[in-house]
Structure 1
C-alpha cells in the first residue's frame, strides 16, 4: 500500500484501517522510511512556501533562518516520534495492554498523520493555528482508536492511555524543541551581531 493510500485511509476510515495495520508485518525502519520521513516533510514544505511568498513574519527574517529551523524541527520531530514509540510500548502494560515494539511504533507513526498534514498550514495567520488544533485533536482520536487495535489496550482504559501518552509527547516536544531551536536562534543572533560589528569596523 502506498503512503498516500495509507494516509487517506487512516484519515477517512480509521477504524477499518487500524485493523489492517494491526495485521500487517512490518518493521520500525520500514514505518519510518516508507511513511514517517515522507509525511513529516509536509510542515517543512509549508514553512518554505511561506518564506517564498513572504507571508506574515516570514518576510522579516532570512530564508536561511527558516530553512535551518524547519529542517531542525523535521529531524527533532522524527527523533521524538521514535522515542514515543518506545514510551507508548512501555506504557501499554500499565493500561492492561500488550507490549510490542512494532505495534507501538505503528501506533505513534500513523497517529501523527493529521498533525503532519495540518502542519502545512501553520504559516497562515489565525487559520493555521485553528487547523493545527484540529489536526492535534484528530491525532489524539487516532491514538485512542489505534491503542485498542495495536497494543490491545481495553476500551475502558484507552482514554487514560491516550491522555498519558499525549501529555508525555507534548512535554517532551516542548523541552527538546525549546533547547535545540533556542540554540539555533542564539547562533543566528550571534552571527548577525558579529556581522554587524564587522560592518562598522
Structure 2
C-alpha cells in the first residue's frame, strides 16, 4: 500500500444545513445521544453553526442560515430511504451520512430508534452479488446497515463493517461524466 500524500486522520467535521436548529439539536442529542460541543452565532445575523461529537475525534456540524432556501427532495437530498423509495440525489449533493457502529450493538440500535419513533428502513446486508444485497447473512457480506432520516429529511445510516477489505475489493474502473444518462426533467 502506498503511503498517503496527506496525513488525514478521518473527518474533522461534516457540515450540513438544517431548517430548525432547535429541532435538530433535540433529534441529535435526545434520539442519537450525540453531545453538543460547540455553538457559534454567525456574524450579521446570518445564522448559526453547531457541532456534535460523533466519536473518535469526528464531528457532525449543522448550519442554520436565516435566508437558506428549502431543499428539494430528489435533487438536493434523497426523497426516501433505500427500501422505501427513490434515494438518488444530484451531483454535488450529500446523499447520506453513515455512522460506524459496533456489529454487536447493531440490532439494539435499530430497535432503540424504532422505539423512539424514528422510521427506519430494512436491514441491508451489502455483498458483491448482482443485486448487491443478500437476504441472509453469509461470508461475503462486508457491511450491514439500515437507513433513517433526521427531521429535515437528511438521510442517515448506521453501518457496521464485517470484514477487512483486500486488493480483490478494488475491481471496477471509474466511470466518467460522458457515461451518465440524462435525467428526465418534468
TM-score (structure 1 length as normaliser)? 0.24
Structure with a larger share of its residues in helix: 1
Structure of greater relative contact order (alpha carbons < 8 Å, 6+ residues apart): 1
Structure with a larger share of its residues in strand: 2
